[in-house]
Structure 1
Amino acid sequence: MNGYQLTFYTEKNRRHGHQTVCEWLLQKTRELGICGATVINCAEGVGHAGARHAAHVLKLTDQPLQIILAVTAEEAERLLEIVRTERVHVFYVRYPVEFGMIAGDLPNPDKPAHAPRQPPSTQG
């Protein structure tokens, strides 16, 4: 399937209303029926104003985060329109990608999910 990877960049402590930006974005993706999001905690980053943001041992609030989504063109537009309408302060990157699920990753209905492995053959 062709679509977009949307990556949002924020900090752990950045808020929109009573939620963090990360929580808010994940809630909106669920409300839109978008399946799948990955949140990556980053060690360090430099923001749009040139300020350094980093996770420290005793203080993780300034830790940079990435929220990554693989979405259709329609889902990307709907989510970005909500972000614009709500005036959420967040940087994003959108670029075209091909995405999908590899069939080998899907469960086989004829085989138990956690079938025990067969011991190797001792014949030789």
Structure 2
Amino acid sequence: MTEGYLITFFTQRSREYDGKSLARWIMDEAMKVGVRGATLSTAQEGFGHDGRYHSNGYFDMQDPPQKLTMALSEEECEAMMALLEKNDLKVFYTKSEITFGFSSDR
């Protein structure tokens, strides 16, 4: 078992960085850092800090909200946050302390 953090980043599909969606860019960088896994989910609807609704509906299909979740060790978490800071990216996130591992590790 490992002590660490559950990090969830929130963004929209239309938000891009370095030629790809921001969520995909973060996921690709997480792989380079050695993160063991990440889950990217696209939501039906939500609203952001700007008060705008984002949805997967007919008129807003290009801008649905996305959520990228990762279970990270302390070192991986520090590396991911440093990476965002280095690239001057402002991304809303939540961070919770967790214990994680595989069921066979008990």
Q: TM-score, normalised by structure 2?
A: 0.91
Q: Deviations over 1:62-82 (max 9, x none)?
A: 100000000001100100110
Name the amino acid aligned to 1:67.
Answer: L
Larger Rg: 1
Q: Give 1 or 2: higher strand fraction.
A: 2
Q: Give 1 or 2: higher helix fraction.
A: 2
1:61-76 map, 5 Å: 61-76=62-77
Q: Deviations over 1:31-60 (max 9, x none)?
A: 101111001111111101111111113642
RMSD, aligned α-carbons:
1.5
Confirm or deny: 8 A CA contact 2:54 2:60 kept in the other structure: no
- Tell me the distance in 2 between the aligned counterparts of 1:38 and 1:17: 20
The runs of 4+ residues in structure 1 deviating greater than 4 Å are: none
Q: 1:11 matched to which residue of 2?
A: 12
Larger RCO (CA under 8 A, 6+ residues apart) = 2
Q: 2:83 matched to which residue of 1?
A: 82
Confirm or deny: 8 A CA contact 1:12 1:60 kept in the other structure: no
1:33-48 map, 5 Å: 33-48=34-49
Alignment gaps of 5+ in structure 1: 105-124
Alignment gaps of 5+ in structure 2: none
Q: 2:61 matched to which residue of 1?
A: 60
Identity %: 27
